């Protein structure tokens, strides 16, 4: 209910509302930083073939990669905007569907704000199951020091997929 007043303000605040809400059902154990089922993006982002109605896990939309799409629709944000306080561990969960044997992946990476500097963090979470929706869940330990201006990117990567791969219901949360 506390998000109600955001209904009267522009989109960026409603987005902030959804991503900053605490997961109270988990007993204050986790704070959701990002949650997306890709339902409300059509028309708000530049036309992107990765955003599709072909095979949703829930709702109407998911994101996909295939032989023509190397990287799925990507979440990009500054670490300092994602969380004003330092994060030690985050948990990424997402549902993935791989149509044919292969190895696609969900990637979380953090890039330095300094041009051409080495990457700060990189984790590839492989998708191995075939022919069924599978929940990925992985805890990621953040580097001890991260510049708040660093950029986090989360995306589905075709990598070695043998056919179309879909991702839906992605969530990133702070974990103890
Ligand atoms: Ca969806």
Domain segments of the chain as ranges: 26-174
Strands (E) located in 29-150: 31-36, 51-52, 62-65, 75-78, 89-98, 103-111, 121-127, 134-141
pTM above 0.85, yes or no: no
112 Cα: distance to centroid of ligand 1 (angstroms):
31
38 Cα: distance to centroid of ligand 1 (angstroms):
5
**Which tokens belong to 136?**
């990925």
12 Cα: distance to centroid of ligand 1 (angstroms):
20
* Greatest distance between any 2 Cα atoms in the chain: 47
Question: Is-contact 161 86, C-beta < 8 A?
Answer: no
Per-residue pLDDT of the chain (176 residues; tens, 9 = 90+): 443 333 333 333 334 334 444 444 444 557 999 999 999 999 999 999 999 999 999 999 999 999 999 999 999 999 999 998 999 999 999 999 999 999 999 999 999 999 999 999 999 999 999 999 999 999 999 999 899 999 999 999 999 999 999 999 999 999 98
Distance CA 24, CA 29 (A): 8
- Look at the domain 26-174 and name its fold: Jelly Rolls (2.60.120)
**Which tokens belong to 149?**
């201006």
34 Cα: distance to centroid of ligand 1 (angstroms):
14
């Amino acid at each position: 209910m506390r998000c109600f007043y955001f209904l009267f303000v522009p989109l960026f605040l409603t987005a902030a509302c959804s991503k900053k809400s605490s997961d109270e059902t988990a007993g204050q154990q986790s704070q959701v930083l990002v949650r997306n089922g890709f339902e409300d993006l059509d028309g708000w982002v530049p036309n992107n073939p990765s955003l599709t109605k072909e095979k949703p896990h829930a709702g109407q939309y998911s994101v996909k990669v295939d032989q023509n799409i190397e990287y799925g629709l990507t979440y990009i944000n500054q670490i300092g905007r994602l969380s004003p306080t330092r994060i030690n561990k985050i948990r990424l969960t997402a549902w993935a569907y791989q149509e044919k044997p292969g190895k696609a992946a969900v990637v979380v990476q953090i890039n330095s704000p300094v041009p051409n500097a080495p990457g700060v963090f990189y984790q590839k979470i492989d998708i191995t199951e075939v022919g069924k929706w599978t929940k990925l869940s992985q805890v990621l330990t953040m580097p001890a020091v991260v510049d708040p201006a660093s950029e986090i990117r989360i995306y589905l990567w075709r990598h070695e997929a043998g056919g179309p791969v879909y991702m839906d219901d992605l969530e990133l949360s702070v974990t103890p």
